[in-house]
């Protein structure tokens, strides 16, 4: 049985994240989507809401679960018997930092990192940009699930 983790801040989950999670769920037996608890980073959505939105967005995928973690990702992997970290790669610009993290994580434990190329229609997509555009009144429909769109509208008073 191969259990993998898709880690991130997911503030909020986008269709780009879901593309990677969905494809990982076809490749591996179990996928744990792990939301980073980062008290030093101000998030738009609480940890509970980020996890709830993710759970709703992945409810049709029986081998996907949602969890959270604090501290090092490699410790989460050891504690949860995770054999690989799955990351999406949007562009070459992602690669340097992702490679560095993959190598550091591999140096800390024997956990491997598997990169999945983001589908081209999502290669520009990032939670930070979704928030910026939604805040400015721009249209982010099609980039996030409808219930995330509704929450963004509420948060930004639209
Ligand atoms: O969605 P993000 O914010 O780009 O995700 C980044 C994340 C959570 C995958 C990364 O920051 C992470 O793994 N943080 C956990 C702390 C850790 O293990 N740091 C060492 C990385 S080599």
Q: What is the pLDDT of residues 18-49, one digit of tens each?
A: 999 999 999 999 999 999 998 888 999 999 99
Residue 133: its H or E element:
helix 127-135
Find out whether the beta carbon of 113 lies less than 6 Å from any atom of ligand 1: no
Q: Is 70 exposed, middle or buried (0-12, 13-18, 19+ CB in 10 A)?
A: exposed
One pLDDT digit (tens) per residue for the chain, 158 residues = 999 999 999 999 999 999 999 999 999 999 999 999 988 889 999 999 999 999 999 999 999 999 999 999 999 999 999 999 999 999 988 999 999 999 999 999 999 999 999 999 999 999 999 999 999 999 999 999 999 999 999 999 87
Q: Of all protein residues, whose CA lies closest to atom 17 belonging to ligand 1?
A: 72
Which of 17, 50, 131, 151 is flagged as catalytic?
Answer: 17
pLDDT for 130 equals 98
pLDDT at site 39: 83
What's the gap in Å between 152 CA and the centre of ligand 1? 24
Q: How far is the CA of 61 from the centre of ligand 1 (A)?
A: 24
Rg (the chain; Cα; Å): 15
Note if the pTM is more than 0.95: yes
């Amino acid at each position: 049985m191969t259990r993998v983790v898709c880690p991130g801040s997911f503030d909020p989950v986008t269709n780009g994240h879901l593309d990677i999670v969905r494809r990982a769920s076809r490749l591996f037996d179990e996928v744990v989507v792990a939301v980073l608890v980062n008290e030093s980073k101000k998030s738009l959505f609480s940890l509970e809401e980020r996890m709830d939105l993710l759970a709703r967005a992945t409810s049709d995928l029986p081998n996907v679960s949602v969890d959270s973690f604090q501290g090092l990702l490699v410790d989460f992997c050891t504690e949860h018997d995770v054999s690989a970290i799955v990351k999406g790669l949007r562009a070459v610009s992602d690669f340097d930092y992702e490679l560095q993290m993959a190598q550091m994580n591999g140096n800390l434990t024997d956990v491997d990192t598997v990169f999945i190329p983001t589908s081209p229609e999502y290669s520009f997509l990032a939670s930070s940009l979704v928030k910026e555009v939604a805040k400015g009144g721009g249209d982010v429909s099609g980039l996030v699930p409808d219930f995330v769109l509704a929450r963004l509208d509420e948060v930004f008073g639209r």
